[in-house]
Amino acid sequence: RAKEQGRNHYQLYTHVIGMSVFEHAFMENSLRKALHHAEFRLFYQPQVELNSGQIIGMEALVRWQHPELGLLEPGKFIPQAEEYGLIVPLGEWVLRQACSQNKAWQDMGLLPIGMSVNFSVRQFQSPDFVETIAQVLEETGLDPKYLELEITESVVMKDEATAIALLQKLYKMGIQISIDDFGMGYSSFSHLKQFPVRKIKIDISFIRDINISSDDAAITTAIIAMAHSLKLKAIAEGVETMEQLNFLQSLKCDAIQGYLFSKPLPADEVTKMLVEKRALR
């Protein structure tokens, strides 16, 4: 019975379009309550440098520990949070949590690593965007150079002049910026050089069949070559097999992120992983 009900509720989260007024109100209310009741959790996925084999950073990925539906992945609630404007307070919570976790790892004596945080267009457009980031960095005591903002091409393309000005401001604060899901948007590659971006994350959709699709292999090869000629780092998302890893290594891809090394994990498990890796040094 509970399971059946769970499945019905689940439906509400999967169809934004076609939801009734009641369902919209229900969803908005549940998200608000979830923020209020601290039901969100951050998981962390390591980013590994291919040259050194070292963990160079973590990506913070939000989950919703729903009291009835269990652990929900961001695809089930981020689009809704964006639609209802709740992505701004949720994003601020994510940022604060991620920064303070990274600071905690450093305070434990672990070698500092980067902390990548995803940002939606809606957050980027919020008037307090830069101020909020500055405030969170100050509060948590994290050195800005360890914070990396992951934005998609859509952020950059909407209003280019404003976007560049904003990115420059962040860059001057010492924050790193990377382009997420690269290759999925419509950006003209030539514009890239105007952005103070450090890293390009090659979208998982190109990596998935990299060993069997000559098109995907060609696109990935081109993205890495372009990144390097612009003096940017390239990181591959969603690396699951040794075959993918070997191919990316042959292309001189700088880093990988994916299940091959680790799935996104809760903070305590990541802490254990970091402590073990550090002991190996």
Least distance (Å) from Mg ion to the CB of residue 131? 23
Verify binding: residue 28, ligand C2E, rule CB under 6 A: no
The whole-angstrom separation of Cα 98 and Cα 42 is 8
Least distance (Å) from Mg ion to the CB of residue 232? 16
Least distance (Å) from ligand C2E to the CB of residue 180? 5
Q: Which residues 222-251 are close enough to bind ligand C2E by CB under 6 A?
A: 237-240
Verify binding: residue 118, Mg ion, rule CB under 5 A: yes
Q: With the C-alpha atoms ordered 28, 32, 37, 39, is the resulting torsion angle positive or negative?
A: positive
User: By rule CB under 6 A, what count of residues binds ligand C2E?
Assistant: 25
The whole-angstrom separation of Cα 223 and Cα 202 is 8
Using CB under 5 A, which of 82, 148, 150, 254 touches Mg ion?
Answer: 150
SS3 21: helix
The whole-angstrom separation of Cα 208 and Cα 161 is 34
Q: What would the x/- binding string for ligand C2E be over residues 135 to 154, using CB under 6 A? A: ---------------x----
The whole-angstrom separation of Cα 242 and Cα 48 is 14
Residue 148: which of ligand C2E, Mg ion, none does it interact with, CB under 5 to 8 A by kind? none
- Residues contacting 173, CB < 8 A, separation 6+: 130, 133, 134, 137, 144
- Residues contacting 270, CB < 8 A, separation 6+: 44, 46, 58
Residues that bind ligand C2E (CB under 6 A): 45, 61-62, 73-75, 78, 87, 91, 94, 118-120, 150, 180-181, 204, 237-240, 257-259, 264
Q: Which residues here bind Mg ion, judged by CB under 5 A?
A: 118, 150, 180-181, 237
